[in-house]
Structure 1
């Protein structure tokens, strides 16, 4: 329940009490008048945790929360699922990266869902869904970075910049001795309008 609360120094009639200055009626552009509470507009941003990812062409994958453990993002073991970094932005946030990572393949399960990212191109549209909400993003860039530089040089995990979607998987040569790929593929996409 929203109730108007009189400002300090006002009597029950809402007028300034004796000895109190008259409130200023001038409000600078972009400022909210003091003591006024508005109703959120229908176009207000909707924030949600993604539970489904739809790639160009319609391929879909379940999105599970993924935490960082010991400085490493732990993605779902099942290669047909992907993980949303729970330390990052949600879909529809005004700032920060929604980071989703997944496997390109595995020795046990074969080709992973994110093998499709190896063919991603700027201009393609990716959709996130969660509950009754969805948000669409247009791919801006597809780059590869050395594994050791993903967190420090790629900006993939940046939470201070404009809102965007970042999809991450492995790429490059496979190093059998180390048991992994030498690089990460980073697909960045910007939102198309507000999440709904």
Structure 2
């Protein structure tokens, strides 16, 4: 999952003009070669999507601009604080029903949803890497639209291409997320905040803790990419609350 280190140079004594020109040309060519080699390494490295257990809090700066959508300040709070809510009245929760599809028009997302359980190491399973346009619902939590947090995971990218949640960090407070369900209803969620948390500082209580309203929490990888381990260092978490529903 590619995301892309400063170099601190040392001073050198002055060189004759001709020699300096040759040195500059060689340095430029070496720089181009290094960039190309680095890109090849990133493209051939898989990303990490598991959720670790040793977690604390993390303070983060404003979200950078991407794809023409201005950035917004990321949500910041101690890990035991509740998730951020949108400025709109929550809708009453519905009865449980398995989710089948997620649609986020503002990000161009329209993807099927598969069911996920726990892996052998106790972490949540992740969607199949061979199906990049696939989100996964953690079935040990609420279904989307039911009271409590419904948790969906998706890859940011694969070894060769962008994946379903590649643009998730660009979502804005007030954006709408639609979840289609097996009972032929569509639960409509409004985004209340976006958080970037280190994988060793994951806000477990905020993401998985019990809630009275129907909430939707989307998780993907983000932050810097560690080429040595082949993992992203952070998670991007979107917090949304159900504000309406309708028949599909």
Q: Give the TM-score of the pair, scaled to structure 1.
A: 0.71
* Pairing partner for 1:66 from 116, 123, 131: 116
Looking at structure 1, the residues matched to 204 and 243 of structure 2 have their Cα atoms a distance apart, in angstroms, of 27
Separation (CA, whole Å) in 2 of partners of 1:101 and 1:137: 16
Shift in Å at residue 149 of structure 1?
Answer: 2.5
SS at match of 2:99: coil
Task: Give the structure with the higher percent helix.
Answer: 2
Change (3 A) 1:59 1:160: closer
Contact 1:47–1:195 (CA under 8 A) maintained in structure 2: no
Greater radius of gyration (CA): 1
| Shift in alpha-carbon separation, 1:107–1:44, aligned structure 2, 3 A | closer
1:144 aligned residue: 196
Structure 1 residue 165: Cα displacement: 0.3
Aligned length: 151
Cα separation, 2, equivalents of 1:44 and 1:149: 30
Aligned mate of 2:228, from 152, 173, 177: 177
Once the two structures are TM-superposed, the CA of residue 159 in structure 1 deviates from its matched residue by 2.9
Q: Which stretches of structure 1, 4 residues or more, deviate above 6 A after TM superposition?
A: none
Q: TM-score, normalised by structure 2?
A: 0.56
The offset of 1:151, in angstroms, is 5.5
Shift of 1:93: 1.3
Partner of 1:133: 185
Aligned-residue CA RMSD in angstroms? 2.0
Are 2:145 and 2:215, in contact at CA under 8 Å, matched by a contact in 1?
Answer: no
Larger RCO (CA within 8 A; separation ≥ 6): 2
Structure with the bigger percentage of strand: 1
Q: How big is each residue's C-alpha offset from its partner over 1:2-50, in whole Å with a ceiling of 9 and x where there is no partner?
A: xxxxxxxxxxxxxxxxxxxxxxxxxxxxxxxxxxxxxxxxx98332111
**1:10-159 aligned within 5 A:** 45-57=94-106, 59-69=109-119, 70-77=121-128, 78-94=131-147, 96-108=148-160, 110-131=161-182, 132-150=184-202, 152=204, 155-159=206-210
| Alpha-carbon shift at residue 80 of structure 1 (Å) | 1.0
Q: Secondary structure at the match of 1:113?
A: coil
- Note if contact 1:146-1:184 (Cα within 8 Å) is conserved in structure 2: yes
- Structure 1, unmatched stretches of 5+, are 1-42
Residues 110-148 of structure 1: per-residue CA shift (max 9 Å, x gap): 101101212100000000002311100000001100112
